[in-house]
Amino acid sequence: MIDESLLNSLSNKEKEIFKKGLEDLINQTYVIEDEYKQLNKSYVSLQDFIAQIIEVQPNALWVLDKNGDIFLQNSEAKKISNLLSHIDTEQKTDEIECDGVYYLVKVALHVEKTVISATDITEEKRRERLASMGQVAAHLSHEIRNPIGSVALLASTLFKKVSIENKPLVLEIKKAIWRVERIIKATLLFTKGLQPNFQNFYLNKLSQECETATGQYTYSKDLDFDLGLPEIEVNGDFELLVLVMQNFIFNAIDAIEEDDNEKGRVVITYKEEKNKHTIYITDSGKEIENKNILFEPFKTTKTKGHGLGLALSLQIIEAHNGSISLLEEEKGFKISWSKYNDN
């Protein structure tokens, strides 16, 4: 409040000066208020900008206050909120496993805030594990190859000399050796990498090789095989595609062996679909229990197997610009590769 007695004691000139000063003060107040509004707007805009930067990050990000409460986080962090309780903020860098997923965690301190990032490195860990397992598998395969070759030679010699009633026993030995040799071949192919040798051949030759292979495979049930493929010319690596077909047929046989029925059927059919060669392989065997690990190397859904058959088959088909997928309406697989590989 302005003292009226003081105001009345002022001369007209002093009143004008006082009035002018008061107007300037009021105007300055408006200026300060406007600057405050602009500053607040800039602060809100900066907050929004920082939030957007955090949100677009591909990894999970948290910003904690001095009490350890969440000050800011992005949507990736919200998806794995349970991970936060496992993080030691005293560790600047750490690797944490949570719910079967591996994360690389980094922690940074800034004033009274703690910034935490978590990056999914599960695939990197998987590649490291596969590389290590592959090296061991390749070494073992090399070590096994020579003695297995000697045993195979001795078995062939023995088969010629034993009596007729003992020949079935030696034949089973030869089948077992053949299977070990296939495992060695698959392991070395998988670990060394594929180098397809594309050439023209008739598709029905695959059927002939598969029919021969079923005679080398051991099974106990009454199986019906329909492995017919048309006599059409295609282009691809014949030996590798034979390996693919054998892998799927043997998987089908194993599934039938694990089934409760005493009989089973394996069927191969061919269709030409949208510039692709497509082969369907179906069987009447046991349903696949864990479809998520079908093509995971060194993992298998069967009671027997080395876990490389489907993984290697996928590599081979992808090298032919193709794909492998599960059928939905019946138990089996669809194998397709591009006709543009054809010369």
Q: Which of 56-60, 131-135, 153-157, 276-280 is predicted least confidently?
A: 131-135
Interval 168-219: pLDDT, tens = 888 888 888 877 777 777 777 777 777 888 989 999 999 888 888 888 888 8
Residue 66 or residue 304, greater confidence:
66
Higher-confidence residue of 24 and 323: namely 323
- pLDDT at position 343, please? 47
Please report the pLDDT score of residue 306 as a whole number.
57
Measure the CA–CA gap between 122 and 103, rounded to whole angstroms: 7
In single-letter form, the type of residue at position 328 comes to E
State yes or no: pLDDT of 263 exceeds 80: yes
Compute the distance between CA of residue 116 and CA of residue 211 in angstroms, rounded to an integer: 59
Task: Region of 221 please: left (phi>0), alpha (psi -120 to 50) or beta.
Answer: beta
Average pLDDT in the 63-79 region?
88
pLDDT at 335: 93
| Best CA proximity match to 204, nearest among 226, 233, 225 | 233
Beta-strand ranges (E) seen in the chain are 60-64, 70-73, 93-98, 101-110, 113-120, 199-202, 222-226, 233-236, 263-273, 276-283, 322-326, 332-338
Residue 25: the pLDDT is 79
Least confident of 25-39, 70-84, 263-277, 287-301: 287-301
pLDDT on residue 279: 93
pLDDT in tens, 80-134: 888 988 888 888 999 888 888 889 999 998 888 899 999 998 888 877 776 776 6
Mean pLDDT of the chain: 83
- Between CA 179 and CA 239 the distance in angstroms is 16
Instruction: Say how many Å lie between the first and final Cα of the chain, rounded.
Output: 100
